[in-house]
Amino acid sequence: MQPITETFYKYIEALQNKITMAFEAIDGCATFDEDIWEREEGGGGRTRILLNGNVFEKGGVNISKVHGALPKAMQSYFGVENVDFFACGLSLVMHPKNPMVPTVHANWRYFEMYNKDGSIIDQWFGGGMDLTPYYLFDDDVKYFHMQCKSACDRHNKNFYKKYKKDCDSYFYNSHRNEARGVGGLFFDYCKGNDSMTIEQWYDFVKDVADNFLNSYVPIVNKRKNITYSATERQWQEIRRGRYVEFNLIHDKGTLFGLKTNGRIESILMSLPPQVQWSYGYKPAPNSKEEELIKVLKKPKNWI
C-alpha cells in the first residue's frame, strides 16, 4: 500500500487536469498557461493560470508539494520545535468577467509533521470550497450549498452543519464586519481517531473535491451571458477589493505560503486583476447591491 502522501498527490494531479479542462471548455477562448516551479528548500509545484477569457477574467488552479524543516515562525504557530514537514494540496480561484457570475474558491490539502528520526508526529487533511457572489441569486446559493451538503452527508450527517458554520466564521472580514461571500465548507485539522481514520478522511476530502465542478459549473452556465452595466461592473470591482483584503489580512494559507518561503506568484494568484477601493462607498438604499451587503453582515442558513 503506497503512502497517503503519494496517493493524495497523484489524486490532485489528476484533479487539476480535470478542472482546468472543464474551465477551458466553459470559457471557449482562453487556455491555462502552465508554470512548473521548484522550491529551493524542497518540493515544488505546477501552477496553471488563465487570463482574459470570454467567461473568466482570471483564474488559477495550482498544485504543490513542499517539504523540509518547518520554519521557526511556523514552529511557533503550531507549538512545536525542530520538526520537518510535508504539505501538498490543490488550490483554485476563478474570477469571472460577468458580475452576475460568482467568484469561486476551493482548496484541498494534506499535511504531515515528523521528528528528526522521520517518524510522523502529526498528520491531517483540510480544505473546502466557497462562493463569493457580486449579485445575489438565492437559487444559485441554495444549489451550491445543497451540493456541499450532499457530499458531506455521504460521510457524516453532522459534517455539513459544522463545516458550513466553520466556513462562515473563517471567511469573515472582521475589520469590515461582513463575510467575504456566502460560504460553503471549511474544514481543517481532520485527523485520524476512533471515529474516522486518516484513510476515511481522505475519502471524504476526495468526495468533496470530486463534487466541485458539479457545484459550480451549472451556476456559471446559467449566468455567464446575462447583460450587465458599467455600474454593475464597478460594484464587482469594489467587492473584489474586499476579497483582496481578506486574502492579504486574514487568510492562513497566504500566511503559510509566505512563512515557508513559498512561491510568491502562486501564493498571490488568487488576487483579481481589476479592483477598486472607492472611499466611503455605500450602495443605494433598497438596491440589489444593498441586498448583498445585508446578507454578508449576518451569515444565513441557505438550506
| pLDDT, tens digit (0-9, with 9 covering 90-100), for 219-251 | 999 999 999 999 999 999 999 999 999 999 999
At residue 100, the 3 state secondary structure works out as coil
**% of the chain exceeding 70 in pLDDT:** 99
Grid-cell match 459550480, residue found: 216
| Mean per-residue pLDDT, 54-72 | 94
Sheet with 120-132, strands from edge to edge, namely 33-38, 43-51, 56-69, 84-96, 103-114, 120-132, 183-190
Mean pLDDT estimate for the chain: 94
Strands, E assignment, 143-217: 172-173, 178-179, 183-190
Domains with residue ranges and CATH for the chain? 4-297 (3.40.1500.10)
| Whole-Å CA distances, 19 to 92, 245, 252 | 9, 27, 24
193 grid coordinates = 481517531
Distance, CA of 20 to CA of 26 (rounded, Å): 10
**pLDDT confidence of residue 113:** 93
The interaxial angle of helices 159-170 and 138-153, nearest 10 deg, is 130
Residue with cell 520554519: 71
Q: Which active-site residues does the annotation give?
A: 105
What are the Cα distances from residue 258, in Å, to 45, 55, 72?
Answer: 15, 30, 13
Angle at 62 between CA 58 and CA 66, to 5 degrees: 145
Given pLDDT bands bounded at 50, 70 and 90, which one contains residue 24? very high
Reduced to 3 states (helix: H, G, I; strand: E, B; else coil), residue 99 is: coil
